[in-house]
């Protein structure tokens, strides 16, 4: 009767474990890759630098995204603060920036971007100051969170005549393919 080499059994166990681990770590064919949104100015859950707030130059930070769905026809961006007026007793979400019909060929917004430098075709909505364009963090009390939300849509929206966030969200209803979120914080 043949006997197994004693070193064979541990080696067989190691190889079996390695094979099963690689099989489980591989993405399944057709698995959806999540869209991502980042900024070179701050990390997710990080502090937004002063220059992008009312205490500084009040200019928009750079935003970059990846993994936009192939079937997306446009993108929309909403930046808001759910901690208004205070994080202890929030009563409303304050909107800082509304953009839509951002072309899917775009993969970033440069810092301090004005309307003349937005990607071609991008339309602006109104923030809660009743103006178009970016208006940076300016919390009344405590540390506030600022949500930068990017949506991939299955359509280009009609000109909504400078919509507020609610009107844009209503127009996007049923058309969102994916979204990405970046959260920054700020305190005076």
Q: How many CB atoms lie within 10 A of CB 177?
A: 17
What pLDDT shows up at residue 32? Answer: 73
Going residue by residue through the chain, which has 188 residues, state the pLDDT in tens, using 9 for 90 and above: 455 455 544 444 444 444 444 333 344 556 678 999 999 999 999 999 999 999 999 999 999 999 999 999 999 999 999 999 988 888 999 999 999 999 999 999 999 999 999 999 999 999 999 999 999 999 999 999 999 999 999 999 999 999 999 999 999 999 999 999 999 999 99
Does any domain span residue 7?
no
Query: Could you tell me whether strands 46-47 and 176-186 are parallel, antiparallel, or unpaired per DSSP bridges?
Result: parallel
pLDDT in the model for residue 25: 38
Q: In angstroms, how far is the first alpha carbon of the chain from the final one?
A: 81
CB-CB contact of 164 with 76 (8 Å):
no
Q: Is residue 111 part of a domain?
A: yes
The strand pair at 46-47 and 108-109 is best described as: unpaired
- Establish if 12 belongs to a structural domain: no
CATH number, residue 127: 3.90.280.10
Token pair 């970033």 is at which residue? 108
Print the domain residue range for 146. 32-186
Overall number of domains in the chain: 1
- Nearest Cα residue to 67 out of 77, 56, 75: 75
Full-model pTM? 0.83
10 in a domain, yes or no?
no
Residue among 167, 96, 94, 172 at smallest CA distance from 131:
96
- Please report whether residue 175 resides in a domain: yes
Note whether residue 115 is domain-resident. Answer: yes
What's the pLDDT score for residue 78? 99
């Amino acid at each position: 009767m043949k006997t197994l080499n004693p070193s064979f059994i541990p080696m067989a166990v190691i190889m079996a474990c390695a094979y099963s681990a690689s099989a489980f770590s591989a993405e399944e064919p057709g698995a959806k890759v999540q869209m991502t949104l980042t900024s070179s100015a701050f990390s997710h859950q990080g502090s937004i630098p002063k220059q992008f707030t009312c205490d500084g130059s009040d200019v928009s930070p750079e935003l970059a995204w990846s993994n936009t769905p192939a079937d997306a026809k446009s993108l929309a961006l909403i930046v808001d603060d759910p901690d208004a007026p205070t994080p202890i007793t929030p009563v409303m979400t304050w909107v800082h920036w509304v953009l839509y019909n951002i072309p899917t060929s775009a993969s970033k917004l440069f810092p301090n971007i004005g309307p003349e430098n937005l990607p071609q075709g991008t339309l602006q909505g109104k923030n809660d100051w009743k103006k178009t364009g970016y208006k940076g963090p300016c919390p009344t009390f405590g540390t506030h969170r600022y949500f930068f939300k990017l949506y991939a849509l299955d359509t280009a929206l009609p000109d909504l005549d400078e919509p507020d966030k609610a009107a844009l969200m209503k127009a996007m209803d049923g058309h969102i393919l994916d979204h990405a979120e970046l959260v920054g914080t700020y305190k005076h």
